[in-house]
């Protein structure tokens, strides 16, 4: 049957900010109706009793590693993990090999996404050619080819003149610049947050100032140019204050936080577990609490995973040599639900909004991020009572680098609907 009727679920309505029982009628990849009760004799009925029906998630920041590092992840495995985790769209960061710094790579990524037919991949192009920070990449051409944003992620654009031109140039097509805010002259060879604890642990530090200096400059350039700036993976209390003041001044700035910066702090490093080695680093408990408060208050707009897969042999190296990053796409939502919503630290609407509607708005994705008549039929069913174990059988990513490996979480995504097609898990 072409029509599908999802009956009896508890719909998370981020537009009206309410959670209530409703039926959803879907046809040709779009939502025809959302009503307390719908009858449609010509539709396939899907029983949603006991399930939350949640708008499809959108990840603004993930590393899918293709092209060039397919031993870590590729578009097939990455989008399998994404759809498994309730994500219907994922922004792929451009620090690949070769980097996504021209239209041909953008079009290659879009072609691979279509071939895999799972979560949609939204390419992010580089700001500069080769991610070298010296000369602007072909921003307009990449935009026309399908790039949704631009970033030199993994590196900050150190040259202020180049960053100014990027913000000015992208204004012509309402483009988005994503800043990896890290002054690398302060973090070179760093391994962890610079603090009394990490000095005691003998780990070379990465100071908060490396982030705040970069954010301050980029905000001032956004003020100067009127360009759209998005701050990636904010990690500190001091950074939040800068972003808050920028928003109060009506500067076009948005910001994201990762699940790991919301859930963990630097004390996790006492056992030198490289699965907690991330960039920016896990900071103090005070920083972690401030990030959650900033999310509640709307200073931080989005939860983005910074999904960073690595092969076992890489991540299991000694702490100094192991690469930065952890995976999230398969299980970010259930872990955040259990850790934040069930505990009463964050309400369900705010969690869902920060992972669906707000990313959709920032990226300019029409008819996505909410369950509403006329919107794309992209949502998932979440059972808050079913327990799952995060192990090799569960994880669909090629990589397993997570400190939550073998962790049991209460909450299972039963299926994900993307543009009317059901992916059962």
Catalytic positions: 306
- Which parts are annotated binding residues? 61, 63-65, 95, 153, 180, 233, 279, 306, 310, 324-325
Q: Are 391 and 409 in contact (CB under 8 A)?
A: no
Give the whole-angstrom CA distance, residue 88 versus residue 80.
Answer: 10
- DSSP letters spanning 14-77: TTTTEEEEEEEEEETTEEEEEES----TTSEEEE-TT-EEEEPEEEEEE---TTT-TTT--HHH
Give the whole-angstrom CA distance, residue 425 versus residue 409.
Answer: 16
- Which parts are annotated binding residues for substrate? 63-65, 95, 279, 310, 324-325
DSSP state of 208: H
**Strand intervals (E) in 83-238:** 87-92, 120-125, 149-151, 176-179, 192-193, 205-206, 228-231
Pairing of strands 379-389, 52-55: antiparallel
Q: Are 9 and 26 in contact (CB under 8 A)?
A: no
Give the whole-angstrom CA distance, residue 62 versus residue 280.
Answer: 15
Distances (CA, A) of 214 to 16, 192, 224, 372: 36, 18, 15, 39
Nearest in space to 68 (alpha carbons), one of 93, 107, 98: 98
Q: Are 53 and 381 in contact (CB under 8 A)?
A: yes
Q: Are 354 and 348 in contact (CB under 8 A)?
A: no
Q: Are 252 and 300 in contact (CB under 8 A)?
A: no
Give CA torsion, residues 394, 119, 365, 218, to 10 deg: 60
State residue 332 phi and psi, 5-degree precision: -55, -50
């Amino acid at each position: 049957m072409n029509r599908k009727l999802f009956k009896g679920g508890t719909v998370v309505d981020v537009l009206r900010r309410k959670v209530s029982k409703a039926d959803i009628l879907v046809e040709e990849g779009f939502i025809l109706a959302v009503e307390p009760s719908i009858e449609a004799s010509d539709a396939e009925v899907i029983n949603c009793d006991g399930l939350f029906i949640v708008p499809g998630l959108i990840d603004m920041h993930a590393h899918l590693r293709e092209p060039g590092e397919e031993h870590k992840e590729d578009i097939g495995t990455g989008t399998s993990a994404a759809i498994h985790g309730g994500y219907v769209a994922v922004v792929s960061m451009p620090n690949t090999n070769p980097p996504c710094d021209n239209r041909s790579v953008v079009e290659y990524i879009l072609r691979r996404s279509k071939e895999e037919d799972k979560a949609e991949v939204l390419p992010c192009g580089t700001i500069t050619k080769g991610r070298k920070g010296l000369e602007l990449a072909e921003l307009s051409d990449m935009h026309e080819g399908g790039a949704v944003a631009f970033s030199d992620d993994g590196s900050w654009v150190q040259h202020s003149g180049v960053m100014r031109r990027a913000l000015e140039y992208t204004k012509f097509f309402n483009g988005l610049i994503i800043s990896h805010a890290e002054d690398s002259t302060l973090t070179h060879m760093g391994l962890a947050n610079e603090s009394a604890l990490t000095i005691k642990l003998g780990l070379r530090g990465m100071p908060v100032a490396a982030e705040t200096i970069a954010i301050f400059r980029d905000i001032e350039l956004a003020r100067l140019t009127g360009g759209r700036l998005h701050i990636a993976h904010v990690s500190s209390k001091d950074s939040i204050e800068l972003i808050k003041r920028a928003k109060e001044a009506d500067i076009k700035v948005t910001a994201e936080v990762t699940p790991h910066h919301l859930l963990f702090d630097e004390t996790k490093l006492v056992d030198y577990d490289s699965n907690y080695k991330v960039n920016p680093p896990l900071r103090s408990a005070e920083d972690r609490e401030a990030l959650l408060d900033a999310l509640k208050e709307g200073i931080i707009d989005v939860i983005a995973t910074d999904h960073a897969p690595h092969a076992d042999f890489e991540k299991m190296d000694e702490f100094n040599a192991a690469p930065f990053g952890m995976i999230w796409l398969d299980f970010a939502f259930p872990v955040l639900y259990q850790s934040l919503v069930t505990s009463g630290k964050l309400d369900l609407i705010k969690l869902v909004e920060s992972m669906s509607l707000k990313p959709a708005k920032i990226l300019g994705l029409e008819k996505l991020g909410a369950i509403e008549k006329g919107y794309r039929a992209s949502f998932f069913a979440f059972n808050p009572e079913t327990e799952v174990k995060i192990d090799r059988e569960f994880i669909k990513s090629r990589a397993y680098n997570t400190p939550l490996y073998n962790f049991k979480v209460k909450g299972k995504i039963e299926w994900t609907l993307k543009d009317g097609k059901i992916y059962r898990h």
